[in-house]
Amino acid sequence: MGETRGLLGPADVRELAARLGIRPTKTLGQNFVIDANTVRRIVRAAGLSEDDAVIEVGPGLGSLTLALLPAARRVVAVEIDPALAAELPATVAAREPDLAERLEVVHADAMKITRVPGPEPTALVANLPYNVAVPVVLHLLAVLPSLRTALVMVQAEVADRMTAAPGSRIYGVPSVKLAWYGEARRAGAVGRAVFWPAPNVDSGLVAFTRRDPPATAASRAEVFAVVDAAFAQRRKTLRAALAGWAGSAPAAEEALRAAGVDPRARGEALDVAAFARIAEYGPSRRGDRFPTP
């Protein structure tokens, strides 16, 4: 095999897939990593400590899993494909027998889990299917508050959107919602040749550090409702875009002015704290903020 620490190479990945009768599918966004240097790089970028409990989504044949096990005290791998979920423990036992007890495989849809077995996870490290990358990250941050850091590999365009700053033309719903939970930044680019099959797009690494959300009386759901409304019609001013959310354009302008936001601005100009201020003057809170004379 020749791979240090039992990591999978191109021939290993293809042999495993052939033995299992697995053909990578676009439906599940399956592109298996075949380059050991790439998984080593991901683990280094994740900055894990020996105390970390890692959740990995979509481990596939185990390329990244094998690199994670020596770097953390525990890895919970969440895999939706039953054949892959069943095979992963055997692959780890064969290649890293001394570390096999650190792994637990959960056969489940990551979008439906609300907890994972064992110690609370502190880090998310994953090569995420392109078609569900943002929803998966946001869902896990919402249901697993113990997650403090993340390092995910996603489509390059998705990475740009996740890390975009206010004022950027690609700043939007993913940027703002991720900013509610913490700080996201680009952590490097990944070429197409490290995957099998090679995708038609480049990939990028996104690093994330959790921090407290903006101080606000509004709930996360209330803030996200404003964000969704603002970017549903991103070419419109906030006065117009938030008319449905507020009940009318005049009501939207009233809420915006009360929050200290120019009604003529567009959603792409606002940071997450500004959206939180607007949410405090939403229709569900109107009686508290704008009492009837």
When pLDDT is averaged across residues 247-267 and rounded to a whole number, the result is 97
Instruction: Determine the residue type at 167.
Output: G
Tell me the residue length of the chain: 293
- What is this structure's pTM? 0.92
Q: Determine the residue type at 272.
A: V
Q: Tell me the pLDDT tens digit for each residue of 131-179.
A: 899 999 999 999 999 999 999 999 999 999 999 999 999 999 999 999 9
Q: In this structure, is the dihedral angle defined by the CA atoms of residues 258, 260, 263 and 268, taken in order, positive or negative?
A: negative
Predicted local distance difference test score (pLDDT) of residue 93: 96
DSSP string of 93-135, one letter each residue: HHH-GGGGGGEEEEES-TTT-S--SSSPP-EEEEE--GGGHHH
Where is pLDDT greater, at 177 or 3?
Answer: 177
Q: Which residues contact 290 (CB under 8 A, 6 or more apart)?
A: 254, 258, 281
Q: For residues 214 and 259, what is the distance between their CA atoms, to the nearest angstrom?
A: 14
pLDDT band at 290 (very low <50, low <70, confident <90, very high): very low
Look at strands 32-33 and 123-127 and give their pairing.
unpaired
The neighbour count for residue 29, using CB atoms within 10 Å, is 17
Which residue's structure tokens are 């790439």? 38
Q: What single-letter DSSP state applies at residue 83?
A: H
Q: Could you give the CA distance from residue 126 to residue 78 in angstroms, rounded to a whole number? A: 10
Q: Residue 4 has what pLDDT?
A: 40
pLDDT at 31: 83
For the stretch 75-121, pLDDT in tens is: 999 999 999 999 999 999 999 999 999 999 999 999 999 999 999 99
CA distance 202 to 204: 7
The span from the CA of 202 to the CA of 19, in Å, is: 28
CA distance 266 to 239: 9
Q: What share of the chain is helix, strand, coil (3-state, %, to 5)?
A: 45, 15, 35
